[in-house]
Amino acid sequence: MPASGTITGLATLLLAGWLATTTSAADPPPPPLQVFILAGQSNMQGQGVVDLDHPKHYNGGRGTLLKVIQVPANAKRYAHVRTAGGDWVVRDDVFVRFRTREKLKSGGLSIGFAGYPGKHHIGPEFQFGHVVGDAIQAPVLLIKTAWGGKSLYRDFRPPSATGPTGAYYHRMLSEVHAGLARLQQELPKPSAGGYRLAGFVWFQGWNDMFDGKARSEYQQNLVHLVNDVRRDLRSPGLPVVIGELGNGGPKAGKNMLAIRAAQAEAARRSEGVLFVSTTAFARPAQDSPNVGHGHHWFGNAESYFLIGDALGRGMLKLLAKPTRR
């Protein structure tokens, strides 16, 4: 080999060694913000009562988060939700963004990111955020996009399904894009590593239960929803968790059972999608704040806490698997 070639080869080796040394000595780049989308209807909005205990309207506080955490057997499970001084924990590594009818709620994960004014309710985001936040060594943002009384058949109808696309499918994506566009303004300390769409959670189904056409189409419409959300967000391997319509527990009428079966089958037919059962988290009306609201899990905070826990653990299972991304 000519001398010049020898020198060039040696220089290349020295440069490679220097780069390896420099890279290993330098601080690693900051991880990207991990963004999870939580979508659905009123049960995703959040109906779990935190501390309201009027004897007439809230059954004396039975089933509220405040009462649940006071049960000695629950001490370990709920130890992370309050400070030593008795305040509700506000995380500085997990953030929530949720536009309600009245206002935009954003900030560190805590109680209150539900559809009601004030800080008296929780939804699945509460424990979901704790689960993923504890497991992921990066800042986390939960973008909630939920509206009460909405169906997949009509309101969230995805573009790939026949017929007009639902207005709330467009609103859901608009909320996601708005949240991503305003990271610098809305997060107290935006991630220097940018962001990454990490997962999508779907928790819906009540309204579709009462229409025969909606029930018969639910499975295919849900498959379309998963595919269209991935396509429109340009994230083909986006992990998706489907939370079961588990109101009332394992025993249910044929309409609800049809939706549950459709949800499970849609997950089975889709890659990177996990169906998460929730029926075990139903609590009796007499042990809950809102005894007449079976469609809202009777407002039982333990139900919403456990639902969020299961959805979060399901998401972590998907994140641990190789994806196409």
Instruction: Let me know if residue 140 belongs to a domain.
Output: yes
- Report the number of distinct structural domains present in the chain: 1
**Domain containing 43 — which CATH number?**
3.40.50.1110
> How far apart are alpha carbons 42 and 245 in whole angstroms?
12
Q: Note the pLDDT of residue 193.
A: 87
249-258 own/partner pairs: CB under 8 Å, 24+ apart: 249/279, 249/280, 249/282, 250/279, 250/280, 252/279, 255/209, 255/210, 255/215, 256/209, 258/209, 258/215, 258/218
Quick check: is 112 in a domain?
A: yes
Considering the domain boundaries, does residue 12 fall inside one? no
Q: Which structural domain, as residue segments, surrounds residue 292?
A: 35-319
Tell which residue, 275, 196, 188, 193, has the closest CA to residue 235: 196
Would residue 293 count as lying in a domain? yes
| The predicted structure's pLDDT at residue 15 | 39
**Greatest distance between any 2 Cα atoms in the chain:** 94
Burial of residue 229, with CB atoms counted within 10 A of its CB: 0-12 exposed, 13-18 middle, 19 or more buried: buried
Measure the CA–CA gap between 27 and 181, rounded to whole angstroms. 28
Is 125 a member of any domain? yes
Measured between alpha carbons, how far is residue 290 from residues 61, 208, 283, 287 in Å?
9, 23, 11, 9
pLDDT value of residue 324: 52
Tens-digit pLDDT string for the chain (325 aa) = 334 444 344 344 433 443 444 445 567 888 999 999 999 999 999 999 999 998 889 999 999 999 999 999 999 999 999 999 999 999 999 999 999 999 999 999 999 999 999 999 999 999 999 999 999 999 999 999 999 999 999 999 999 999 999 999 999 999 999 999 999 999 987 677 899 999 999 999 999 999 999 999 999 999 999 999 999 999 999 999 999 999 999 999 999 999 999 999 999 999 999 999 999 999 999 999 999 999 999 999 999 999 999 999 999 999 998 655 4
Residue 15 resides in a domain: no
